[in-house]
Amino acid sequence: FWDFLILFFCLPVVIFNEITKKRLLGDVSCHIVPFMEVSLLGVTTFSLCALGIDRFHAATSPQASARPIEQCQSIIAKLAVIWVGSMTLSVPEILLWQLAQDTSPVSGMVTEYCTMKPSSNLPESVYSLVLTYQNARMWWYFGCYFCLPILFTVSCQLVTRRISGTEKKTECRGTKHSQCESHLNCTIIGLTIIYGLCTTPENVCNIVVAYMSPDMSKQTLDLLNLINQFFLFFKCSVTPILLLCLCRPLGQAFMDCCCCCCEGCSPDTASSEGSADSKLKTEMSSSIFFDKPRESPPPLLGLGTPC
Protein backbone atom coordinates (compact mmCIF):
# COMPACT_ATOMS: atom_id res chain seq x y z
CA PHE A 1 0.00 0.00 0.00
CA TRP A 2 2.82 2.41 0.80
CA ASP A 3 4.54 1.52 -2.48
CA PHE A 4 1.31 2.44 -4.25
CA LEU A 5 1.18 5.80 -2.43
CA ILE A 6 4.74 6.58 -3.53
CA LEU A 7 3.99 5.77 -7.17
CA PHE A 8 0.65 7.58 -7.11
CA PHE A 9 1.82 10.81 -5.47
CA CYS A 10 5.62 11.20 -5.59
CA LEU A 11 6.31 9.92 -9.11
CA PRO A 12 4.06 12.49 -10.89
CA VAL A 13 5.59 15.30 -8.84
CA VAL A 14 9.14 14.32 -9.80
CA ILE A 15 8.30 13.85 -13.49
CA PHE A 16 6.42 17.17 -13.63
CA ASN A 17 9.38 18.95 -12.04
CA GLU A 18 11.84 17.46 -14.54
CA ILE A 19 9.70 18.40 -17.55
CA THR A 20 8.52 21.88 -16.61
CA LYS A 21 11.19 22.90 -14.06
CA LYS A 22 8.26 23.90 -11.84
CA ARG A 23 7.42 22.23 -8.57
CA LEU A 24 3.94 20.71 -8.51
CA LEU A 25 2.04 21.85 -5.39
CA GLY A 26 4.89 24.25 -4.63
CA ASP A 27 6.42 24.22 -1.19
CA VAL A 28 4.02 21.51 0.04
CA SER A 29 5.56 18.87 -2.22
CA CYS A 30 9.05 19.73 -0.96
CA HIS A 31 7.91 18.69 2.51
CA ILE A 32 5.62 15.77 1.68
CA VAL A 33 7.66 13.92 -0.97
CA PRO A 34 10.84 13.46 1.15
CA PHE A 35 8.68 12.58 4.15
CA MET A 36 6.85 9.84 2.21
CA GLU A 37 10.04 8.48 0.64
CA VAL A 38 11.86 8.21 3.98
CA SER A 39 8.72 6.72 5.55
CA LEU A 40 8.77 4.08 2.81
CA LEU A 41 12.32 3.14 3.78
CA GLY A 42 11.24 2.81 7.40
CA VAL A 43 8.15 0.75 6.55
CA THR A 44 10.23 -1.64 4.42
CA THR A 45 13.00 -1.87 7.01
CA PHE A 46 10.76 -2.66 9.96
CA SER A 47 8.55 -4.98 7.89
CA LEU A 48 11.57 -7.05 6.88
CA CYS A 49 12.65 -7.19 10.52
CA ALA A 50 9.15 -8.30 11.58
CA LEU A 51 9.07 -10.97 8.87
CA GLY A 52 12.49 -12.21 9.98
CA ILE A 53 11.26 -12.52 13.57
CA ASP A 54 8.17 -14.39 12.35
CA ARG A 55 10.28 -16.90 10.40
CA PHE A 56 12.54 -17.36 13.45
CA HIS A 57 9.53 -18.10 15.64
CA ALA A 58 8.23 -20.54 13.02
CA ALA A 59 11.55 -22.40 13.07
CA THR A 60 11.94 -22.47 16.86
CA SER A 61 8.32 -23.29 17.71
CA PRO A 62 8.00 -26.75 19.29
CA GLN A 63 4.87 -27.45 17.24
CA ALA A 64 5.42 -25.33 14.14
CA SER A 65 3.07 -27.42 12.00
CA ALA A 66 0.22 -26.76 14.44
CA ARG A 67 0.55 -23.00 14.74
CA PRO A 68 -2.88 -21.30 14.83
CA ILE A 69 -3.84 -18.57 12.41
CA GLU A 70 -2.83 -15.15 13.74
CA GLN A 71 -5.73 -12.91 14.66
CA CYS A 72 -6.50 -9.90 12.49
CA GLN A 73 -6.24 -7.54 15.48
CA SER A 74 -2.69 -8.71 16.12
CA ILE A 75 -1.67 -8.13 12.49
CA ILE A 76 -3.24 -4.65 12.45
CA ALA A 77 -1.45 -3.79 15.70
CA LYS A 78 1.92 -4.80 14.21
CA LEU A 79 1.25 -2.80 11.05
CA ALA A 80 0.24 0.23 13.11
CA VAL A 81 3.47 0.05 15.12
CA ILE A 82 5.54 -0.23 11.92
CA TRP A 83 3.77 2.63 10.14
CA VAL A 84 3.54 5.00 13.10
CA GLY A 85 7.17 4.37 14.01
CA SER A 86 8.33 4.94 10.43
CA MET A 87 6.38 8.17 10.05
CA THR A 88 7.58 9.42 13.44
CA LEU A 89 11.22 8.89 12.47
CA SER A 90 10.55 10.74 9.18
CA VAL A 91 9.10 13.90 10.75
CA PRO A 92 12.45 15.81 10.57
CA GLU A 93 12.25 15.55 6.76
CA ILE A 94 9.24 17.88 6.81
CA LEU A 95 11.26 20.58 8.59
CA LEU A 96 14.46 20.02 6.63
CA TRP A 97 13.43 20.81 3.04
CA GLN A 98 12.42 24.13 1.47
CA LEU A 99 11.43 25.35 -1.97
CA ALA A 100 14.09 27.44 -3.71
CA GLN A 101 14.32 29.22 -7.07
CA ASP A 102 17.23 29.69 -9.42
CA THR A 103 17.42 31.89 -12.52
CA SER A 104 19.45 30.70 -15.47
CA PRO A 105 22.02 33.35 -16.54
CA VAL A 106 21.69 32.34 -20.20
CA SER A 107 17.95 31.92 -20.81
CA GLY A 108 16.64 33.78 -17.78
CA MET A 109 14.33 30.86 -16.99
CA VAL A 110 13.29 30.47 -13.37
CA THR A 111 13.80 26.92 -12.06
CA GLU A 112 12.18 25.66 -8.88
CA TYR A 113 13.85 22.95 -6.83
CA CYS A 114 13.91 21.61 -3.28
CA THR A 115 16.92 22.33 -1.11
CA MET A 116 17.97 20.81 2.20
CA LYS A 117 17.93 23.90 4.41
CA PRO A 118 15.97 24.27 7.66
CA SER A 119 13.78 27.32 7.96
CA SER A 120 15.08 30.14 10.14
CA ASN A 121 11.55 30.71 11.46
CA LEU A 122 11.68 27.53 13.51
CA PRO A 123 12.09 27.74 17.29
CA GLU A 124 15.68 27.62 18.41
CA SER A 125 15.42 24.21 20.07
CA VAL A 126 13.69 22.68 17.03
CA TYR A 127 16.14 24.36 14.67
CA SER A 128 19.12 22.86 16.51
CA LEU A 129 17.54 19.40 16.43
CA VAL A 130 16.91 19.66 12.69
CA LEU A 131 20.51 20.74 12.11
CA THR A 132 21.74 17.79 14.16
CA TYR A 133 19.56 15.49 12.06
CA GLN A 134 20.92 17.03 8.86
CA ASN A 135 24.52 16.43 9.95
CA ALA A 136 23.81 12.83 10.96
CA ARG A 137 21.38 12.09 8.12
CA MET A 138 23.87 10.26 5.91
CA TRP A 139 24.99 7.77 8.55
CA TRP A 140 21.44 7.44 9.91
CA TYR A 141 20.33 6.43 6.40
CA PHE A 142 23.17 3.98 6.04
CA GLY A 143 22.85 2.39 9.48
CA CYS A 144 19.08 2.23 10.00
CA TYR A 145 17.65 1.97 6.49
CA PHE A 146 20.37 -0.13 4.83
CA CYS A 147 22.48 -2.12 7.30
CA LEU A 148 19.70 -2.93 9.78
CA PRO A 149 17.27 -4.78 7.44
CA ILE A 150 20.02 -6.62 5.57
CA LEU A 151 21.94 -7.75 8.65
CA PHE A 152 18.72 -8.59 10.50
CA THR A 153 17.36 -10.68 7.62
CA VAL A 154 20.67 -12.47 7.03
CA SER A 155 21.04 -13.27 10.74
CA CYS A 156 17.48 -14.60 11.05
CA GLN A 157 17.88 -16.71 7.90
CA LEU A 158 21.17 -18.21 9.10
CA VAL A 159 19.73 -19.10 12.50
CA THR A 160 16.54 -20.45 10.91
CA ARG A 161 18.47 -22.64 8.46
CA ARG A 162 20.69 -23.95 11.22
CA ILE A 163 17.71 -24.90 13.37
CA SER A 164 15.86 -26.39 10.42
CA GLY A 165 18.94 -28.40 9.48
CA THR A 166 19.24 -29.93 12.93
CA GLU A 167 15.54 -30.85 13.02
CA LYS A 168 15.25 -32.09 9.46
CA LYS A 169 15.34 -35.74 10.55
CA THR A 170 12.51 -35.39 13.06
CA GLU A 171 8.96 -36.39 12.23
CA CYS A 172 7.21 -33.29 13.52
CA ARG A 173 7.52 -31.43 10.22
CA GLY A 174 5.65 -32.68 7.16
CA THR A 175 6.73 -32.32 3.57
CA LYS A 176 4.12 -29.69 2.69
CA HIS A 177 4.94 -27.70 5.78
CA SER A 178 8.63 -27.72 4.86
CA GLN A 179 7.81 -26.55 1.35
CA CYS A 180 5.68 -23.73 2.75
CA GLU A 181 8.50 -22.64 5.06
CA SER A 182 10.95 -22.74 2.15
CA HIS A 183 8.66 -20.59 -0.02
CA LEU A 184 8.23 -18.00 2.73
CA ASN A 185 11.97 -17.84 3.39
CA CYS A 186 12.68 -17.38 -0.33
CA THR A 187 10.10 -14.58 -0.44
CA ILE A 188 11.79 -12.68 2.40
CA ILE A 189 15.23 -13.18 0.85
CA GLY A 190 13.97 -11.91 -2.52
CA LEU A 191 12.42 -8.81 -0.96
CA THR A 192 15.64 -8.09 0.92
CA ILE A 193 17.78 -8.47 -2.21
CA ILE A 194 15.58 -6.07 -4.20
CA TYR A 195 15.60 -3.56 -1.35
CA GLY A 196 19.38 -3.78 -0.96
CA LEU A 197 20.05 -3.36 -4.69
CA CYS A 198 17.71 -0.36 -4.99
CA THR A 199 19.02 1.47 -1.90
CA THR A 200 22.73 0.86 -2.50
CA PRO A 201 23.13 3.66 -5.12
CA GLU A 202 21.49 6.20 -2.81
CA ASN A 203 23.75 5.36 0.11
CA VAL A 204 26.85 5.43 -2.09
CA CYS A 205 25.81 8.80 -3.53
CA ASN A 206 25.13 10.22 -0.06
CA ILE A 207 28.60 9.27 1.14
CA VAL A 208 30.26 10.59 -2.02
CA VAL A 209 28.32 13.86 -1.95
CA ALA A 210 29.04 14.36 1.76
CA TYR A 211 32.80 14.36 1.15
CA MET A 212 32.98 15.70 -2.41
CA SER A 213 30.05 18.13 -2.69
CA PRO A 214 32.26 21.27 -2.98
CA ASP A 215 33.91 19.80 -6.10
CA MET A 216 30.62 18.79 -7.78
CA SER A 217 28.36 21.06 -9.82
CA LYS A 218 24.68 21.57 -9.12
CA GLN A 219 23.74 19.71 -12.31
CA THR A 220 25.66 16.64 -11.16
CA LEU A 221 24.02 16.73 -7.75
CA ASP A 222 20.56 17.04 -9.32
CA LEU A 223 21.28 14.12 -11.64
CA LEU A 224 22.39 11.91 -8.74
CA ASN A 225 19.29 12.85 -6.76
CA LEU A 226 17.08 12.01 -9.74
CA ILE A 227 18.77 8.61 -10.19
CA ASN A 228 18.26 7.82 -6.51
CA GLN A 229 14.58 8.71 -6.69
CA PHE A 230 13.96 6.54 -9.74
CA PHE A 231 15.71 3.61 -8.07
CA LEU A 232 13.21 4.08 -5.25
CA PHE A 233 10.33 4.14 -7.75
CA PHE A 234 11.70 1.00 -9.38
CA LYS A 235 11.73 -0.73 -6.00
CA CYS A 236 8.10 0.31 -5.41
CA SER A 237 7.12 -1.15 -8.79
CA VAL A 238 9.00 -4.44 -8.49
CA THR A 239 8.26 -5.30 -4.84
CA PRO A 240 4.50 -6.05 -5.21
CA ILE A 241 5.10 -8.09 -8.37
CA LEU A 242 7.91 -10.04 -6.72
CA LEU A 243 5.77 -10.66 -3.65
CA LEU A 244 2.86 -12.01 -5.72
CA CYS A 245 5.15 -14.20 -7.84
CA LEU A 246 7.22 -15.73 -5.03
CA CYS A 247 4.44 -16.14 -2.48
CA ARG A 248 2.13 -18.55 -4.31
CA PRO A 249 -0.80 -18.53 -1.83
CA LEU A 250 -0.88 -14.72 -1.83
CA GLY A 251 -0.62 -14.62 -5.62
CA GLN A 252 -3.43 -17.17 -5.98
CA ALA A 253 -5.62 -15.19 -3.59
CA PHE A 254 -4.90 -12.01 -5.55
CA MET A 255 -5.84 -13.68 -8.85
CA ASP A 256 -9.03 -15.06 -7.31
CA CYS A 257 -9.98 -11.56 -6.15
CA CYS A 258 -9.28 -10.11 -9.60
CA CYS A 259 -11.30 -12.83 -11.33
CA CYS A 260 -14.14 -12.35 -8.86
CA CYS A 261 -14.20 -8.58 -9.53
CA CYS A 262 -14.12 -9.11 -13.32
CA GLU A 263 -16.93 -11.66 -13.35
CA GLY A 264 -19.21 -9.52 -11.23
CA CYS A 265 -22.08 -10.72 -9.09
CA SER A 266 -24.26 -13.12 -11.10
CA PRO A 267 -26.76 -15.46 -9.38
CA ASP A 268 -26.45 -18.33 -11.89
CA THR A 269 -25.27 -21.78 -10.89
CA ALA A 270 -22.04 -21.71 -12.88
CA SER A 271 -20.80 -18.58 -11.14
CA SER A 272 -21.78 -19.95 -7.75
CA GLU A 273 -19.89 -23.15 -8.45
CA GLY A 274 -16.89 -21.15 -9.66
CA SER A 275 -16.96 -18.95 -6.57
CA ALA A 276 -17.22 -21.99 -4.35
CA ASP A 277 -14.27 -23.56 -6.15
CA SER A 278 -12.19 -20.38 -5.85
CA LYS A 279 -13.16 -20.09 -2.19
CA LEU A 280 -12.00 -23.64 -1.59
CA LYS A 281 -8.70 -22.92 -3.34
CA THR A 282 -8.23 -19.73 -1.32
CA GLU A 283 -8.90 -21.53 1.94
CA MET A 284 -6.42 -24.26 1.02
CA SER A 285 -3.81 -21.67 0.03
CA SER A 286 -4.37 -19.61 3.16
CA SER A 287 -4.10 -22.69 5.31
CA ILE A 288 -0.70 -23.37 3.74
CA PHE A 289 0.41 -19.75 4.09
CA PHE A 290 -0.56 -19.46 7.77
CA ASP A 291 0.85 -22.88 8.68
CA LYS A 292 -2.60 -24.17 9.60
CA PRO A 293 -2.65 -27.95 10.00
CA ARG A 294 -4.86 -29.91 7.64
CA GLU A 295 -7.69 -31.51 9.55
CA SER A 296 -7.73 -35.29 9.57
CA PRO A 297 -10.76 -36.93 7.93
CA PRO A 298 -13.39 -38.49 10.22
CA PRO A 299 -13.01 -42.21 10.85
CA LEU A 300 -15.00 -44.49 8.59
CA LEU A 301 -17.85 -46.40 10.16
CA GLY A 302 -17.74 -50.18 10.03
CA LEU A 303 -20.37 -51.48 7.63
CA GLY A 304 -21.39 -55.12 7.14
CA THR A 305 -19.75 -58.10 8.68
CA PRO A 306 -16.22 -58.18 10.11
CA CYS A 307 -15.14 -60.03 6.99
**Mind listing the pLDDT tens digit for each residue in 170-203?**
544 456 666 677 777 778 888 888 888 888 888 8
The 10s digit of each residue's pLDDT in 268-294 is: 444 444 554 554 444 444 444 444 444
Burial 117-137 (b: 16+ CB within 10 A, else e): ebeeeeeeeeeeebeebeeeb
* pLDDT surpasses 60 at 122: yes
Nearest to 97 by CA among 114, 112, 111, 113: 114
- Domain residue ranges of the chain, discontinuous segments joined by +: 1-61+70-168+177-261
* pLDDT surpasses 50 at 81: yes
| Amino acid of residue 202 | E
Nearest-angstrom CA–CA distance, 12 and 28: 14
Per CATH, the number for 1-61+70-168+177-261 is 1.20.1070.10
Residue 216 is given by DSSP the state S
For residue 301, the model assigns a pLDDT of: 47
* Percentage, residues of the chain above pLDDT 70: 73
The 10s digit of each residue's pLDDT in 217-233 is: 777 777 888 888 888 88
* pLDDT surpasses 80 at 306: no
Sequence-distant (6+) residues with CB within 8 A of 64 are 58, 172, 173, 177, 181, 291
Q: What angle do CA 175, 176, 180 make, to 5 degrees?
A: 120
* pLDDT surpasses 60 at 264: no
Sequence-distant (6+) residues with CB within 8 A of 21 are 109, 110, 111, 112
